Structure formats: structure tokens, C-alpha cells
Amino acid sequence: MQQLPDRDPDQLMRAILARAPVGIAVIDYEGRYVSVNPAYSEIYGYTLADMVGENFLMVFPEEAHAAVLARHQDFLDNGTPLGGEWDVFRRDGAKLKVWSNSVSFPARQGKPDRLVYVLDITDQKKAQEQERIANTVYQTTSEAIMVTDADNRIIAVNPAFTRLTGWTLSEVVGRSAEMFRSERHPEAFYAEIWAALKSYGYWIGELWDQRKDGEHYLRETAVTIVKDSFGNVKNHVIVFSDVTERKAAEDLIRWQANYDSVTGLPNRHMFGKQLAEGASRATETGATMALLMIDLDRFKEINDTLGHSVGDRLLAKVSDRLKEGKRAGDAIARIGGDEFALILTDLADASEAEGIARDLLGRFETPVTVDFEQVYITASIGISLYPGDTQSLEELFRNADQALYAAKGFGRNCLHFFTPALQRAANVRMRLANDLRQAIADGQFVVHYQPIIDLQCGQVVKAEALVRWQHPTRGLVSPATFIPLAEDTGLILPLGDWVARQAIAEVAHCRRTYAPNLQIAINQSPTQFRSPAFSGLGWMAELARHGLTGQAICLEITEGVLLNAEPTVMNTLIAFRDAGIEIAIDDFGTGYSSLAYLRKFDIDTLKIDRSFVSDLEGAGLDICEAIIVMAHRLGLKVVAEGVETEQQRDVLKSIGCDYAQGYLFAPGLPSEAFEAMLGAQGVPAGVRQAASAQ
């Protein structure tokens, strides 16, 4: 090598060695460090003094010593190259990957030294490993990956991309990523994505694209911008997956969670949200919102008679009518079996809500056609106003429900507004319903007997069993109050059964002691009669146990039971008939008053409702006369209810009425008082003899 004159070559070499970025060491034949340069000692974390004289194996893990020595020997003896990658340790225990090579040069007596140069490639190796992993992910992930350049031209795609879109790299490389766009998004949508990328460097969202075969699909996409060291956009990395199916499933689940499948209307859950929206709107505008609870009258009967699928179709038709009746912007929902709810917003006052509710009721005047069958259906509506009645939505719901209950009580097919009085009544009802459960267990019920007089002879020949509730704190509670509660809670079954058994025991006792032909009438509520758990037929055994025939009792039912009678009701009626038990229609004249039913079910007695008797001086007279004439023609007997004056009794007798019941004779009496009354009218001779013979 050419040399400048004023340079000392040794000094120059030392300077080079001291500054060389490569670790260089000289190791003698025995493997001891002779010298190391600063780069070398820095790689291993030792000082020069630490290393000189030590065996070079100090930097190798112990388990590798044997192998390293063997290669070392092979190099020294046979010149086999030592170049390659090695796993070594730094002084502080950190693992390093180094690349090293060795050359030997002659030293002492044929024992050559070795010059070793070393590069620390730990970081580079790590980076390579990362890259390898990244590439594996890129190749194998199920997510499609597309990389574009600064102009959004495609430069790379992975296998998942091809699987998902149908396009291979060679088909798309160099083309604009816009080639996949679906026309489902307006230009503005893409502009927004670009704006987000510009400000945040990434965008995540869902968008519709087109596959190679033209099919549109929804992809969940993440776009990230890669910048070069100068901050210029270099690449876009677009990672996406097909979420069309997942989205469809989600939509379906969301739909089912919020909508009713029978009518397609929002369900109770969704309705809750709509109600909250309506309320905040009302608060904002200061207008009134009304909640209308709409319940179909006697839907259960229709459902049971015509079948559930017809019932479902009827509900769908009903919902159509309701939809027609609402104004644009009003929300309607099906919130239960046959219960619908309507939210009216932006009302000026209550009368506007009333107008709409009346219009809805009017829409049911024409029958609904289901499967070529004309079904007459009516509805009842309860209304509560927000914020007039309450500012709580939960309460609004309850209010409307109470108003609905009141509307039903008013004879159905009508509407009722919520009032504070309804609220109080509802509270009492709720507490009573709770007490009712306990009452049966605690024996708080008692049966009273109201005499029924034969108008020809003036004697007590029948009686009606009327249940009384002696409430521990409220005193006597009227059956008009607790019977509906017992019906709602199902307690009517055990209660009715208990009353019947009491009445049977009473009639048995009275027949033995006072009146051998006495008959006691027992009221039957429609719910009781329709229930599959109804145990009325067990009463025959009870009668037999007392040595009685069916004639000893009579069952009072209302006309509603006969209307749309299900097979179970029919069969029960027939079984009662066969056992000789009479059937009376209670409160006749207030319901459907259908003659056809009276004939069909072979009814024995009609009880004219009190309202006609109390109006005998007015229109009631004609009605009573008509009922009596008609009943007699059909072979039925007639009882007039609620006879309070002698005049009423005389008029009824003169128009041919058979029996009378009312305060004129006696109210419902405790059994002792009732028996005393029977005793006072004289015991028939046969009974007296039988009694004294005992």
C-alpha cells in the first residue's frame, strides 16, 4: 500500500482499530484474548482489561462451549471458515446475536493467532423476525389487506383480499382503489373519509363495495396512512372484512328486539324509547303528549274460538286500522297480547286526544274480515296526558292502564281519561288483591243467603248465596269490589269452590230442617266457568254426599258465558244439565239478551236485572213484561231482582212474574237469620215428623 511520508503506519492502524465500528479482537492459539478494540469490548460490555488474558468462551453460553471449541479447533487445524451467526451473552446477561468471522495469522512457533471481527446484529435480527411474522400475518389473516400508494393506486394485496373480492394482485395492481366503489354511497361519503384521513391519519367504518362478480357487500374497513420520514403520505393500508352477513343478523336481531313479528309494529321495548322521545319533545315545545292504551274487547274469546292463527291475522288487521287512524308522526306499538299503545304528540289539549280516540273506536264499527270471516271487534281506550297527569313516564303508563281498566268497566267500546280518583281506586284494588290471598287462608269469607219469594204463595222457596268478605281492617268489602280482583288473580277458583260447598251444606241442612224443596242459587263468574281448572263437576259428588239431587242448587251465570261458548263450557253446561242442576241467567237485560242462546242452552230461569225493576214506573214496566212473556213462552221461570217496595212486588205479580228477590223481603242474611226466617214461615208437616223421629 502506498503511504504518505509523514505518517506512522502503526499509529495509523491503532487509530483505525480504535475508531472502527466493527468489533475486532485478537485471540491466541489457546483461545485467550490478546487484544480487543473499543467496539468489541462495547459489544460485550467489558473493558479491555476485563478481557485480555480471558478465554474467548466467556461470551458464549456454557452449553455451547463444546461445539464452539470444536469449530474453533477445526478452523485452526483445517482452516474451515468460522464466519456466521452466533448466540452470545453480554456482560449484563443480555442475549445477543452477532455475526463474526475469523482469519488466522502466524504468531508464535506455528501457533497462529486469530483475528476476529464481530458485528452486533441483534436489532437487525429482531426486525427481520418481526417482518417475518408480519408477512405471515399478511399472508394468512382472514382480513383482506390492500396497500396503495400516495395516489391511492394499488401496490399490494394479500390472499384474503383475493378470496374476498375475487380480484388477484395482477388484475388490480396499479389501478385506483376507487375501482371497488359501490354506487350505494354518494360522493360526499368518500369525501368525508378523505377528510378524516387527512386530519387523523386513519378512518374506521363500514362501507359498501362491489366484488369482481358485481355483488355488493358491506365491509368493515380500517384505513391507515403511512408517511415517509419527511411527513409525506407514502401509503394507505386498507384492512377490511366482509360483514354483510353479520350485519344482516344484527339487523334481524335488532328488529326482533324492537318489533312485533305479528303486526310489524314496534314492540313494548321500542315503544318505551318512543315514549321517552315524545316526552322530551313535549317538554321542549310545551305541547301536550297523550298516551292511549288500546285493548281489544273479548279478544281472548275470539282467539279461543277461531284459533290462534286467525287471532294473529286479526291483530295484524287491527293494527292496520289503528295505523290508518293515527296522524303522521304519532307512534303506535303493540305492547302485549291484544294491547296496543298510541303516542299522540303536539296536542293543544285533551279534547284533541279525545277526538282521535273516538275516531279510532269508530273505525271498528265495520267488521274486520279475516279468512273470509267477518269478525266484529271493539276496543276500549284509556288515556293519560303528559305532563298534565304526571311527569313520570312509568306513571303515565300506569295511569293510561287504569283509565283503560275504567273504560272496560264502563261496558267496553268506550274511552276513559285518567283521573286522580282512578288512581286512588287502583291503589285500593292493588292492596285488596294482596289481602285477598290471605283472606281465603284465614277464613275471612262468609256466605249470606238472600231469600227468593214465590210471588204466588209468598213463601221463601229459593235463596241466593252471596259471598261476603269480612276484612280485618276495612270491614265488610262488597263482592262487586273483590270478585273482579279474584277473577284477575285466579283466586276466583278456590273462592267459588268454597262458596259452592258452603251453599250445598246449607241447602242440605235447610232441606232437612225447614223446607224440603229449597233451592240455593250459586253465582258463577265467567272466568271461573271458562277455566280449564274449574272443578264444578266435583259438586255433584258433594251433593250426593249430602243425599241431595241436582235440583237442590242452581247456577247463576251471565249471558257472556254463552256467547262464543267454547267446547269446554258447552260440555260443562251439558254435564250440569244431566245432573239436574238448573241454570239461571243473572242480570238479564243488561247484556246481549239473545233468545237464541236461551233456547240452545236449555236455560231454566231468567233473573231480571234490578235496573228494570227499579224503573217499573217508567220504561221498565214494558221491558219486564216483555221478558216475562218471552221467558214463559220458552218455558223459563222469571225472578225479579232488587224488589224494594210492595208496589213493585204487586206490579210484578200482576204481570206474571214467578219469583222476587230484594230488600223488601230481606237482604242477604247470615245463615242463622236466614234459617230463622225459614223457620218462621212454618215447617212443613213431613219435615217436622222426620225431624222429631230422629
Interaction between residue 620 and ligand C2E (CB under 6 A): no
CA geometry: angle 443, 449, 455, nearest 5 deg: 170
Q: Which helix (H) or strand (E) holds 324?
A: helix 308-325
Strand partners, 95: 89
Using the minimum distance from each CB to ligand C2E, give the nearer residue, 56 or 405: 405
* Residue at grid coordinates 321495548: 269
Distance of alpha carbon 601 from alpha carbon 57, whole angstroms:
113
From 12-20, 398-406, 575-583, 638-646, give the range in contact with ligand C2E by CB under 6 A: 638-646
- Residue 662 contact among ligand C2E, Mg ion, none, beta carbon within 5 to 8 Å by kind: ligand C2E
Give me the residue whose beta carbon is nearest to ligand C2E.
662
Which residue stretch of 249-257, 454-462, 569-577, 659-667 sits at the interface with ligand C2E (rule: CB under 6 A)? 659-667
> Pattern of binders to ligand C2E over 528-567, x per CB under 6 A?
----------------------------x-----------
Looking at residue 199, its amino acid is S
- The interface partner of residue 467, options being Mg ion, ligand C2E, none and the CB cut-off 5 to 8 Å by kind, is ligand C2E
- What string marks each residue from 488 to 507 as x (binds ligand C2E by CB under 6 A) or -? --------x--x--------
Q: Which is nearer to ligand C2E, 312 or 497 (CB)?
A: 497
**483 binding partner (options Mg ion, ligand C2E, none; Cβ < 5 to 8 Å by kind):** ligand C2E
Q: Which amino acid is at 345?
A: T
Stretch touching ligand C2E by CB under 6 A, among 44-52, 338-346, 372-380, 639-647? 639-647
Residue 427: count of CB within 10 angstroms of its CB: 11
Residue 478 touches which member of ligand C2E, Mg ion, none, C-beta under 5-8 Å by kind: ligand C2E
Q: Name the 3-class secondary structure at 618.
A: coil
- The site for Mg ion (CB under 5 A) is made up of 523, 556, 586-587, 641
Which of 397, 402, 662, 675 binds ligand C2E (CB under 6 A)? It is: 662
Number of residues this chain uses to bind ligand C2E (CB under 6 A): 26
Considering the complex, what minimum distance in angstroms separates the CB of residue 472 from ligand C2E? 20
**Least CB distance to ligand C2E at residue 538 (A):** 16
Q: How far apart are CB 688 and ligand C2E at their closest, in Å?
A: 30
Per DSSP, helices labelled H in 410-517 are 420-442, 479-489, 492-513
Site for ligand C2E in 322-361 (CB under 6 A): none
**Closest distance between Mg ion and the C-beta of residue 524, in Å?**
9
Please write down the HEC assignment for all residues of 270-286.
HHHHHHHHHHHHHHHHC
- Whether 239 contacts 145, CB under 8 Å: yes
Whether the CB-CB separation of 112 and 106 falls below 8 Å is answered with: yes
Tell me whether residue 342 or residue 500 sits nearer to ligand C2E (CB atom).
500
Please identify which residue in 525, 572, 605, 671 interacts with ligand C2E, judged by CB under 6 A: 525
Residue partners of 154: CB distance under 8 A and separation at least 6: 146, 147, 148, 172, 173, 174, 175, 176, 177
Sheet holding 95-108, edge to edge: 33-36, 23-27, 111-120, 95-108, 84-89
Residue 479, binding choice from Mg ion, ligand C2E, none, Cβ under 5 to 8 Å by partner class: ligand C2E
Binding string, residues 449-488; x marks residues near ligand C2E by CB under 6 A? -x--------------xxx----------xxx--x-----
- Cell numbers found for residue 448: 249470606
- Beta bridge partners, 464, equal 450, 521
What is the Cα–Cα distance from 256 to 233, expressed in whole angstroms? 45
Q: What separation in angstroms does the CA of 290 have from each of 236, 256, 270, 381, 393?
A: 54, 26, 17, 12, 11
Q: Where in 585-614 is the site for ligand C2E (CB under 6 A)?
A: 586-587, 610
Question: What's the closest the beta carbon of residue 554 comes to ligand C2E, in angstroms?
Answer: 12
566: helix, strand or coil: coil
> Which member of 278, 325, 591, 642 binds ligand C2E (CB under 6 A)?
642
Beta-bridged to residue 448, according to DSSP, are 466
State the minimum distance, in angstroms, from the CB of residue 468 to ligand C2E.
7
Contact partner, 589, from Mg ion, ligand C2E, none, Cβ < 5-8 Å per class: none
Rounded to an integer, what distance in angstroms lies between the CA atom of residue 584 and that of residue 519? 12
In Å, what is the CA distance from 218 to each residue of 154, 178, 244, 248, 250? Answer: 20, 15, 5, 10, 13
Choices 156-164, 230-238, 283-291, 519-527; region in contact with ligand C2E by CB under 6 A: 519-527
Q: What is the enclosing helix (H) or strand (E) of 346?
A: strand 339-347
| Site track 415-454 with ligand C2E (rule: CB under 6 A), x = hit | -----------------------------------x----
**What residue ranges bind ligand C2E (CB under 6 A)?**
450, 465-467, 478-480, 483, 496, 499, 523-525, 556, 586-587, 610, 641-644, 661-663, 667-668
